[in-house]
Structure 1
Amino acid sequence: MNRPALLLVLPLLLSAGCAATGVGPVDAVRSPEGRVEAFDQRAAQVAEAWRPGPDWRTGYVPLEGPTLLTGDPGFTPDTEAAFRSGWYREEVPIPPTRVGGEIRFTDGRLTLPLVSAAEAYRQLDQGDPLPCPGRPKRPGRPTPGGPTVEPGPDGWATSTTQTACLPLTVTGVTFGAVPVRTSRGVAQVPAWLFTIRELATPVARLAVAPTAVAAVPEPTAPARPLPDGLVAAQDLAAVDDARLTVRLGVGACDTGITPLVWERPDVVVVGGGVTRATGECVAMLKLEPVTVTLAAPLGARPVLDVFTGAPLSIAPR
């Protein structure tokens, strides 16, 4: 679901040119053509500075996970809240036995230590829901007695329904593999698949032991600040062959949001261009999904943010 999500809200008005991007109006770029030229120059610097270690090509560096959905879960507000919060309860024994397995990359295979289903479940389960006085006993039912008042990201708001604080029910667990984007492209990674009564598809928890997961390398950003009029990429919402859905971090009053991409055979750099508001604007950073089409399928190329130079991961799903 490609919806902008609020990351930061401050009770503060900013004048034009000072959107919530982490930099001030340095080297402001006013025209669309100027933004493209400034982006290309910086993207080339980011690509030249990208020097990952050997683990990037020989180890296991996941760029998403470790909890994944294997299909459309058919979320309701209740079940999505439980999934995002990690609320689970089990109705079946979770086996503690460890199994063997390997990761299958397009360029080879890698055998790594795995965790048991019981260990994976302990990582998956983040505790029980907090008590919710007055909330419905079953998910999805409106609260008797009319509207209620609920705290939200922008303060207190009136609502006619509430989300039940209920956990997801584990009714089975099997061992399998799921596709995961890694530093070596999409790989088939061992995972424990938990069947959930309330969802239409299992929840996968990657089974690779944490000690076997290589860290994403630290980026090297250009010394100069990001020119005003350019914005950073926060993460990848989706990758479909040569089409990338990127989430940009933009200001609340930014307009003319335009995705920008620079690529060469070994790396892709993404970001965006915006037109800043001329008046006052609340300091609010939003995630804006945009789509870019590459000249060639992405394959195993890293996608780097034009601001930090960091490789982008797939957003939680």
Structure 2
Amino acid sequence: MRSYKLLVTLGLVAAAVVGCGDLSVPGGEHVRDDDTAERARRVAAAWEGSETARAWYQGYYLLGDAVQLPDGAFHNDADKRAYAAQNFDLRTPLPDAPKKPGRIRWTDGEALSFPLISARAAYDKLDRGENSGPALTVTGARLGSMTVLTSRGKATVPAWLFTVKGYDTPLKRVAVTPPKPLRSPIGAVQHETDELVPLDGLDTIARDGRTLTVRAKHGACDDGPAVDVLEAEGSVVFSASIRGTSDGPCTSQSLVKKVTVKLRRPLGERILLDAFTGGPVPYEGPYSASPNSR
């Protein structure tokens, strides 16, 4: 196991969030509107050198898709619609899970063992459609591997490789049983206001390591979401808010918009945290959340 480096220098760079209303957190802590930036700093400080951060750096937490599509997907609109609707047609027996655990291997040579799920369990995470539209036909399945982005960088993980009719390469789905979610060292804010709301999740991390896209919630009668960033030595904390709300009548509709942010330096192995929840920003893949969820 690689050594865990205690991160003691915060080096905080923050954009303040201001507004109206009150926020309350467990344990009697009271957060005023003009202290929401301070909330982000407290989240960053709580994670620095914590046992939870140690578990993050030494464990396996997915930060990318649990599914990788075949090369050239999709050939036509019907296949694209089938995948979006989660419609699959199984035409082959599916293997059981191996009795031996699978090995996750990182580029630095470190490795961890995790139980594997069966091909049927992996397939059921793909095939959730319940309509009579077009479907992707699965004609075979075997155990292989795929490369994913994790909390410790890129790793090669066991994966079920599903043969899809019409495609030369398989559709891959992670075969590793996810670990239990981490328990944050700081409690979540109890109530949402326009000045601080939980993020919907992480969408993408660009190759430059500095350009990140997150999904932020807002309503039908506002100017959309805003996301402020605080960069610490061992973490990046996002504070999501809603701009331009009004007191007039409005439909109770929840919308999600992608917001792109630019970091001052590459993310590296820093943890992405949500100021509202106090925990890692969830990554939502096509069909399931990654283990680093709320």
> TM-score by structure 1 length?
0.65
Cα distance change on mapping 1:202 and 1:303 into 2, 3 Å: same
Query: 1:278: Cα distance to partner?
Result: 4.4
Find the partner of 1:216 among 162, 178, 181.
181
Q: Structure 1 or 2: larger strand share? A: 1
Q: Does residue 269 of the first structure (1) align with residue 237 of the second (2)? A: yes
Unaligned 5+ segments in structure 2 are 1-19, 24-31, 287-294
Alignment of 1:219-258 (within 5 A): 219=184, 220-221=186-187, 225=191, 228-240=194-206, 241-255=209-223, 257-258=225-226
RMSD: 3.5
- Matched position secondary structure for 1:180: strand
Instruction: Give yes or no for contact 1:79–1:199 (8 Å, CA) kept in 2.
Output: no
Report what 2:104 is aligned to: 103
Change (3 A) 1:89 1:292: same
Residue of structure 2 in register with 1:186 after alignment: 154
1: CA distance between counterparts of 2:61 and 2:187?
A: 21
Identical positions, percent: 32
Contact 2:210 2:263 in 1 (8 A): yes
Residue 56 of structure 1 deviates from its aligned partner by: 1.9
Unmatched 5+ stretches in structure 1: 1-24, 29-34, 133-163
Match of 1:43 among 40, 64, 69: 40
Distance 1:227 1:95 in 2: 49
Which one scores higher on RCO, CA 8 angstroms, separation ≥ 6? 1
1:281 match: secondary structure: coil
Aligned to 1:46, the other structure's residue is in SS state helix
Look up the SS of the partner of 1:307 in the other structure: coil
Larger Rg: 1
> Quick one: which of 23, 26, 37 aligns to 2:21?
26
1:306 matched to 2:272: no
Amino acid across the alignment from 1:61: Y
Query: In the alignment, residue 244 of structure 1 is paired with which amino acid?
Result: L
In 2: Cα distance, 1:72 partner to 1:238 partner: 20
Whole-angstrom CA distance in 2 between matches of 1:216 and 1:63? 13
1:170 equivalent in structure 2: 138
Map Cα deviations across residues 235-289 of structure 1 (whole Å, 9 max, x no partner). 0110111110011111112216433111112001113342212422111111110
Query: Residue 49 of structure 1 aligns to a residue in which SS?
Result: helix
1:281 aligns with 2:250: yes
Output the CA distance in 1 between the equivalents of 2:128 and 2:180: 30
The SS at the match of 2:37 is helix
Mapped pair 1:296 → 2:293: no
2:250 partner amino acid: C
Distance 2:195 2:140 in 1: 51
Kindly state the Cα deviation for residue 131 of structure 1 after the two structures are TM-superposed: 6.5
User: Does the 8 A contact of 1:229 with 1:275 survive in 2?
Assistant: no
Paired with 1:167 and 1:94, the residues of 2 have a C-alpha distance of 18
Q: Distance in 1 between matches of 2:252 and 2:75?
A: 32
CA–CA separation in structure 1 for the residues paired with 2:214 and 2:72: 20
- Any conservation in 2 of the 1:170–1:195 contact (CA below 8 Å)? yes
